[in-house]
Amino acid sequence: MTKQKNILPYLLLIPFTIGLIFALTDFSKGFDTSVFHFLRENLSPALDLPLKILTTLGDPKSVIAIIVVLLLIPKVNKKVGLPAALITSTSWIINELVKIIISRPRPEFMLFEETSYSFPSGHAMNNTALYLTILFSLFSIVENKKIKTVLCVVFTVLPFLIGASRVYFGVHYLTDVISGWSLGAFVAIIGFNIYRRLLKNECH
């Protein structure tokens, strides 16, 4: 069982690797474009406002604000705020490096301007890293099973919706977002395990 648990995080690199191949070859560009047009033609325009709010929630300024708030709350600053700050910062650095290396241009059908490269989605990756880290941290504090279930739903659905909003507005290809989710989850799991081990070593 321990070996299986150790392998599981690395399975998250499979979707990222597939997306990377697609980004380098443009193999999925036609599919990604079709997904965007399907969403715009079949979903209600009423979704524009809530999805715009979600994509704004996933902006770097909003992410920083959330981390600062967590760091300022005395009861959770060390157990939640600190790991969230460290792991999300690591995710951001990795995301920026991969974007520069791959240099995938943004989709031509963007509905608002974005200047950075497209792969992988920073919104999807960094928010997945942030919210999963918050979830893992809260799980070590909260004991009530019902509350844990609610936290699990909220903190997994949020990064999913934030990433989906990027596809909806055409600022990312679907493969950018899927790769962002998978790499962000990988960073969160590995990063939190390292943080927890370092914390245990300090206590001893």
The pLDDT of residue 3 = 52
Token output for 198: 């370092």
Per-residue pLDDT of the chain (204 residues; tens, 9 = 90+): 455 567 888 899 999 999 999 999 988 888 899 999 998 889 888 999 999 999 999 999 999 999 999 999 988 888 899 999 999 999 999 999 999 999 999 998 888 888 899 999 999 999 999 999 999 999 888 888 899 999 999 999 999 999 999 999 999 999 999 999 999 999 999 999 998 888 776 655
The pLDDT of residue 203 = 55
Kindly give the interhelix angle for 174-203 and 29-42, rounded to the nearest 10 degrees.
Answer: 100
Q: Please say whether the beta carbons of 180 and 120 come within 8 A.
A: yes
The pLDDT of residue 113 = 84
How far is the C-alpha of 119 from the C-alpha of 107, rounded, in Å? 11
**Cα-flanking dihedrals φ and ψ of residue 127, to 5°?**
-75, -35
Among 163, 162, 180, 169, smallest CA distance to 102 is for 180
The pLDDT of residue 2 = 52
Cite the active site residues.
123, 172
- Which position has the token pair 């474009």? 33
Give the alpha-carbon dihedral of 190, 143, 84, 133, to 10 degrees: 40
Q: Please say whether the beta carbons of 84 and 130 come within 8 A.
A: yes
Helices (H), the chain: 2-11, 13-25, 29-42, 48-57, 60-72, 82-102, 122-139, 145-168, 174-203
